[in-house]
């Protein structure tokens, strides 16, 4: 079965990556879980937000790295520990690292879902972030996020010890699916907004798809 993951939660309910959006996304009737992003606040607390600043979503001219977790909270930028405590234990989690993780981030992940989770992964575009997480939480599965799929990309994912790759959905074709299977890698896709696209990817055998809007509802 292909997992349907609400991309940054259901941002129609509240700000993307905020607790309201993530809870709505995780508990939507057809959802299997959520994808969300993690940065570090000024005090080193892992917080859940995509952008390095608050301008686009919160309308505030401030950088995440310049504010503490307590200062970010009123803008609906939650601490990672708050999100993990609130989400249902059965929800599958794709935790995307937008920064190299610190020890606190790894401690929070392991404390919430264990040392070898079955329904959670960490993903990132940054090889350094994945390597650092592997050192601190080696039992957590890791996905390399990519825009395109090729032999060099697959080789990089294997060199990193990743369990899979998560690709922009246009890159997912029968040939790229076969490429990942031959390498023993899971293949996920992002970000889909139409149900027919989700259905096509599911037929190709991807393990998970990040979805929004009609692809989450339908």
Looking at residue 158, its pLDDT comes to 98
Residue with tokens 């076969």: 178
Residue-wise pLDDT tens digits, 51-74: 999 999 999 999 999 999 999 999
Q: Structure pTM? A: 0.97
Q: Do the bridges between strand 33-40 and strand 46-48 make them parallel or antiparallel, or are there none, so unpaired? A: antiparallel
Is pLDDT of 191 > 80?
yes
Query: Domains of the chain (ranges plus CATH)?
Result: 3-217 (3.20.20.190)
Looking at residue 218, its pLDDT comes to 74
Residue-wise pLDDT tens digits, 138-178: 999 999 999 999 999 999 999 999 999 999 999 999 999 99
Across 84-101, average pLDDT: 98
């Amino acid at each position: 079965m292909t997992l349907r993951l609400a991309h940054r939660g259901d941002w129609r309910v509240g700000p993307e990556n905020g607790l309201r959006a993530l809870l709505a996304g995780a508990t939507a009737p057809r959802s299997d879980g959520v994808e969300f992003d993690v940065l570090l606040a000024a005090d080193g607390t892992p917080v859940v937000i995509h952008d390095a600043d608050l301008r686009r979503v919160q309308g505030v001219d401030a950088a995440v790295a310049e504010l503490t977790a307590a200062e970010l909270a009123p803008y609906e930028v939650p601490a990672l520990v708050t999100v993990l405590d609130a989400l249902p234990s059965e929800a599958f989690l794709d935790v995307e690292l937008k920064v190299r993780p610190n020890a606190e981030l790894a401690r929070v992940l392991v404390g919430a879902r264990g040392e070898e989770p079955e329904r959670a992964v960490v993903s990132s575009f940054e090889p350094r972030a994945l390597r650092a997480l592997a050192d601190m939480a080696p039992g957590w599965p890791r996905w390399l996020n990519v825009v395109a799929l090729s032999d060099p990309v697959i080789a990089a994912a294997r060199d990193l010890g990743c369990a899979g790759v998560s690709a922009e959905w246009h890159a997912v074709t029968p040939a790229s699916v076969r490429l990942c299977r031959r390498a023993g890698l899971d293949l996920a896709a992002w970000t889909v907004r139409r149900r027919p696209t989700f259905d096509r990817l599911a037929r190709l055998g991807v393990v998970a798809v990040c979805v929004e809007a009609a692809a989450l509802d339908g």
